[in-house]
Structure 1
């Protein structure tokens, strides 16, 4: 099942996709552009991985990490489908990052790899923009690189875990103004979803609503004001975002 959240007629509604059409929880059929899309779930803690694809680490001239490189993001970063992300005036390199986002559905600690998927509620798409001008190094990202307001579009759909036969075999693609600029597969992750869940749960308790952004493949390209950026993941959908100028 594909489930999302929108603001429709002044009320936050749950929406569902059925045979390519969108319906609210009251049964009303709506058009994609007639609603204001929100993140498809209420996020708790947001974990993000850096350098989790070998080809991306290579393009940045870094050695792959020996253990998951995890940093935290604020809830202020999340925005929905068809929303806008600001490009700061002082930035010369702002790039998308198409990522599979794993949403936790059960409380858990000390989770074994073989049991990890039992704690997953579902999957969605995240476009975790990076502002490279602020970067200190990839092993210790500067707070400003990944925590600006509205810098992480996510959605539009949360897809049930059971509807994705193998989340480690999904194709990811990014398009700028209709042109393919990034393509990869979750099969090329350095640390798999079960490995990441096990790693995190060794020293903290995962909670429902926690979300893990699992990294991006190679293909970082600068985005400009006015660009339409579409991030797609096989079996999950397409997430559309537009880059706009800072107006302050």
Structure 2
């Protein structure tokens, strides 16, 4: 299944993508694509629906973030060896964990707003993992049983905020619009191997990132198991699993986003995003 949330920002409705590609309305069937709706039993009920009986959503309707009411937005840094190398950092001996503020979350095609006083806003295409069952101390062998599905994430970063001054990563990752998610949450039954997905990102038609999840240092199962040792994971929590090489920071010389540019990115089977860049204005 491909689950979506559509409508005005802050007023999104739940939806599902029918086989013909149209979005069908789930209003009145589930309250949102969030929380308990992502549990295995609830997903099984959605899978049994006759989508032809559901109202169609008008083409061109805005897509919101594909998961609502996200409790934790967890991120893994330096999880591709070649990205660590281009960043001038060593491959970590265990996953590097940080968080993004949930207020950074936006729709997949909403605009990117460069923060006030930013000079180094960067891009990162990443595989998002959406939790579907409460997870505590789960084994790596069982970890994927706790996953509801997957999505595309652009883990936008302001590198000066992240790495200079006091260097706290969360500051460089949490600006409004820095967490586009979607267009769809693709349930795990449609993603037989999350470690074999092509991924890419372009700015103004120039392809900077062209990688695959197969080159992750720590795979999805390991990450879910690892994180569950330090905190419980709840349905609707999201893990952003790291980016392949080709970020702006790694260019020689570095290249960063400017107002007016267009960013496009996607992951095999999980859809694409398109974002126009603008400068912050009060």
The DSSP-based 3-state class of the residue aligned with 1:30 is coil
Q: In 2, distance between residues paired with 1:109 and 1:88? A: 36
Over 3 Å counting, the alpha-carbon distance change for 1:209 and 1:11 in structure 2 is closer
TM-score, length-scaled by structure 2: 0.82
Deviation (angstroms), 1:16 = 2.2
Deviation (angstroms), 1:110 = 1.0
Residue 65 of structure 2 corresponds to residue 39 of structure 1: yes
Contact 1:24/1:30 (<8 A) preserved: no
Q: Counterpart of 1:240?
A: 274
Q: In 2, distance between residues paired with 1:82 and 1:30? A: 17
Contact 2:99/2:170 (<8 A) preserved: no
Over 3 Å counting, the alpha-carbon distance change for 1:204 and 1:143 in structure 2 is closer
* Higher RCO (CA-CA < 8 Å; seq separation 6+): 1
Q: In 2, distance between residues paired with 1:241 and 1:143? A: 22
Superposition CA RMSD, Å? 1.7
Q: Counterpart of 2:3?
A: 3
2:237 to 200, 210, 228: 210
Which residues of 2 match residues 12-51 of structure 1 at below 5 A? 12-18=12-18, 19-25=20-26, 26-31=54-59, 33=60, 35-42=61-68, 43-51=70-78
> Alpha-carbon deviations, 1:169-199, whole Å to 9, x = none?
0001001123322111101111111111111
Count of residues in Structure 1 that have an aligned counterpart in Structure 2: 243
Q: Counterpart of 1:71?
A: 98
Contact 1:227/1:243 (<8 A) preserved: yes
The DSSP-based 3-state class of the residue aligned with 1:150 is coil
Q: In 1, distance between residues paired with 2:280 and 2:137? A: 44
TM-score, length-scaled by structure 1: 0.93
After TM superposition, the runs of 4+ consecutive aligned structure 1 residues lying more than 4 A away are none
Structure 1's unaligned 5+ residue stretches are none
Q: Counterpart of 1:135?
A: 162
More strand by share: 1
Q: In 2, distance between residues paired with 1:105 and 1:135? A: 30
Deviation (angstroms), 1:23 = 2.7
Q: In 2, distance between residues paired with 1:237 and 1:142? A: 27
Q: Counterpart of 2:44?
A: none
Q: Counterpart of 1:95?
A: 122
